[in-house]
A and B are shown apart, each in its own frame.
Chain A
Amino acid sequence: MNIGTRKILDRSFTAIGFGSIIVMALALMVVVVPILTNGLGAVFFTGTVEHRKLLHEEFQRGDTQDLSSEIASSERYRAKAYAILSDFEAELERMEPEQQGKYSSKYAQVRTSLQSLLGPLPGDSPAMLTRNKYGQTRWEKAEEKLHSFLYESKWDNSNSDVMGKEYFVRRSLDFKGTSLAPLFPYVENNLENMLLPRFTVYWGFLTDSSVDSHFFGGIWPEIQGTFFLAMGAMLFAFPIGVIAAIYFTEYARPGFLNSMLRSANSTLAGVPSIVFGMFGLAFFINTLHVSESKSVLAGSLTLAIMILPTIIRAAEEAILSVPKTYREASLSLGSTKWNTILTVILPAALPGILTGGVISLGRAAGETAPIIFTAAVSVGSAIGLADIFSSPTPALSWNIYNLASEHEAAAEIRHVQYGMVLALVSIVLMLNLSAIVLRARISKKLKG
């Protein structure tokens, strides 16, 4: 090959390497950016008067006077719409049965649509579910609902070769000439006055319980559950892991038994997380009966087993990186081996051990599969500390799955899902980050 081509090949080889790293960085961005931007939307958003009404009624928050004046002002605008509705209902009464049939189903659609926008309308029976008690609490959702209030969506299936195409028809066309016709332009033009959107910071998203299976409210039970599970796992795994690491580094003699133990450790590290879940179910719950059924305890134990190999490895590495001279110095002063480990080696290895611990804590917080059968429930309130031995708990990781894949109105509460994902990702990344900072800090301190 001539040298020019060889050089081109060399350059492109470099480019491939760079390219793959850039692709990885992009992958990270592509995943993290939507989670970040949409997730922040769970706390920072344009809230409507319905949101403030909800906060006041469900959480007793907000100024009563301000709120009632806001409601009064919004009711003033809503009254006109309600009046149009009652006019049309009267007109509907007077119609021929045939015409009545033609309008009434369409009118029912309009009414439902308006209900979801503004909340219960005059003449509705009181709502059973909280989700039906309020109109749209978020302005961007209100705008979506406004669109489906104004337009009816239809599917064009004329060409059977390709998938059907969606298209929209103005509802006002259906009601041309009736007394309902003015409703559409009126709502379109006065929606802001009826909902009073305002920039809102809802920290309660992190500290409130959910209302009506996450239609409203916050994710505190999930955050707390995640905290309990991860901390519980650490409580079991950390001491055992560190002690095992001490054994492997300071006491184990090379040989068959030792290599068996090491193989066991890497085998455990490679077990698929769902198998941990099955084991937790079969062993902790069905055999040991640590609890009646799912519980925080069973989940923590399962997670503990999962993170044990990581902790052992990190601790081992940290202990091995302690200079041999410390050991010699301590022993030459007449210290016993055990005392040397406790007073010299472990303190020096602490940054590494803690780093491994914090990263494992993040892993325990983020894992879902091991807790599906052992600890997680979809709905529920925050549990007390005393209940961890007997009750299951909601947890961020599980509820993200549950809300996104199994919730009856998953598409309606995307903002909650995003908020949960952001909460989980930031907990995990923050733990990782603090591990890095911790490592830097303590090792700096050790260096004097």
Chain B
Amino acid sequence: MATDVRQAPESASAKKSTRDIYLPPERKVVTGGGEAHIVAKNFSIYYGEFEAVKKVNADILSKYVTAIIGPSGCGKSTFLRAINRMNDLIPSCHTSGTLLFDGADIYGKNTDEVLLRKKVGMVFQKPNPFPKSIFDNIAYGPRLHGVSDKKKLMEIIERSLKKAAIWDEVCDRLDKNALGLSGGQQQRLCVARTLAVEPEVLLLDEPTSALDPKATAKIEDLIQELRGSYTIMIVTHNMQQASRVSDSTMFFYEGVLVEHASTAQLFTNPKDPMTEDYITGRFS
């Protein structure tokens, strides 16, 4: 069963076409990226009877940044959280269709969601550091996955904090409580914490909606830094942000994936009239 899925016969052809559709012409092409990393096929998500995400078909390209936009309540978060199975926490939530990660079924019978989440990291809307020291926050993931050597931990922590562009700000107070940081710093700490587990995919659910413009700019810069190393999906309310940071963009409306195209195209030449209405601000 599992081997069947791994071979994923259709995904090769899908990959060809998606590359053409989604690849950003105006942006720097990422080497080694651009394959379909996450593939949704007729994928629906329900809360009890209510179908919050409806029959989505989409390919998410590896190492590129994909933005998800849409009015509030349209199922953006629900879709994003499905990718690392955070929806398992909600008892009424269930799915249909398939969602593949590197060709393997995320909702397959033999999928270990804990191992999956190690590969698919997530950063949430509100910064949520643990009430522990900065060190322990970052070390939390590596320790879980078996790193206990202090020197090795320190290496990982330094690397993650540097990647998340917060090393300079916190390197002299790693033993201080993380809750003492500012909101923007906390959010970058959360990114660093996620990076420390070395995931392949980074899911960001409105990571800047709780931050001020300055902190937002820093997070956006950070996303640019990480582009090319991770497959990034970012849910955002802010269309400027989507156009600034992403390579391709998905527009959701009432649970339906209305349009998925390269960001440049979606914002300059949307195919669907609904997308046009949304990006021109006729509704939100």
Contact = CB atoms under 8 A, between A and B. Distances in A.
B179 A333 contact: no
Contact of A325 (B124, B132, B197): B124
A328 B86 contact: yes
Interface stretch (A29-37, A124-132, A336-344): A336-344
Assign chain A's interface to a size class: 20 to 34
A334 B197 contact: yes
Given A328-B86, A448-B131, A448-B179, A253 B91 contact: yes
A336 B128 CA distance: 18
Contacts of A330: 130, 140
A328 B124 contact: yes
Interface residues of B, number: 30
Given A329-B130, A348-B131, A448-B179, A336 B114 contact: yes
B219 to A, nearest CB: 17
Q: From DSSP, what is the main secondary structure of chain A's interface residues?
A: helix
A296 to B, nearest CB: 39
A3 interface: no
A346 to B, nearest CB: 12
B115 interface: yes
A446 interface: yes
B20 to A, nearest CB: 33
Interface string A414-448: 00000000000000000000000000000001111
Contacts of A327: 89
Contact of B144 (A323, A333, A348): A333
B131 A332 contact: no
A329 B86 contact: no
A330 B114 CA distance: 11
Contacts of B129: 329
B115 A334 contact: yes
Given A333-B121, A333-B144, A334-B141, A323 B128 contact: yes
Interface string B134-146: 0000001100110
A335 interface: yes
A347 B129 CA distance: 14
Interface string B76-93: 000000001010010100
Contacts of B128: 323, 325-326, 328-329
Nearest to A343: B140
Q: Which of A327, A334, A339, A445 has the most CB of B within 10 A?
A: A334
B121 A332 contact: yes
A446 B86 CA distance: 25
A337 to B, nearest CB: 9
A331 interface: yes
B126 A325 contact: yes
Given A325-B126, A447-B131, A333 B141 contact: yes
A333 B145 CA distance: 10
B173 to A, nearest CB: 11
B178 interface: yes
B122 interface: yes
Contacts of B86: 328, 331-332
Interface in A180-227: none
A331 B194 CA distance: 11
B177 A448 contact: yes
Interface in B193-226: 193-194, 197
Nearest to A332: B122
A447 B179 contact: yes
A333 B126 contact: no
Interface in A112-149: none
Nearest to B180: A448
B146 to A, nearest CB: 11
Nearest to A447: B179
A318 to B, nearest CB: 14
A321 to B, nearest CB: 13
A328 B89 contact: yes
Q: Which of B84, B144, B178 has the most CB of A within 10 A?
A: B144
A339 B179 CA distance: 22
A334 B177 contact: no
Nearest to B137: A329
Nearest to B117: A334
B179 A446 contact: yes
B141 A326 contact: no
Contacts of A332: 84, 86, 117, 121-122, 124, 194
Interface in A302-355: 323, 325-336, 339, 343-344, 347-348
Contacts of B89: 327-328, 331
Q: Which of A332, A446, A447, A448 has the most CB of B within 10 A?
A: A332
B190 interface: yes
B37 interface: no
Nearest to A336: B114
Interface in B141-190: 141, 144-145, 176-180, 190
Contact of B194 (A333, A445, A446): A333
Contact of A334 (B145, B176, B190): B145
Nearest to A325: B128
Contacts of B237: none
Q: Which of B89, B130, B193 has the most CB of A within 10 A?
A: B130
Contacts of B124: 325, 328-329, 332
A348 B121 CA distance: 23
B54 interface: no
A335 B117 CA distance: 8
A326 B117 contact: no
A333 B117 contact: yes
A446 B122 contact: no
29 contacts: A323-B128, A326-B128, A329-B124, A329-B128, A329-B129, A330-B140, A331-B86, A331-B89, A332-B84, A332-B86, A332-B121, A333-B118, A333-B144, A333-B193, A334-B114, A334-B115, A334-B141, A335-B144, A336-B114, A339-B144, A343-B140, A347-B131, A348-B130, A446-B177, A446-B179, A447-B179, A448-B176, A448-B178, A448-B179
Cβ-closest 6 pairs across A and B = A448-B179, A334-B118, A448-B177, A325-B128, A332-B122, A448-B180
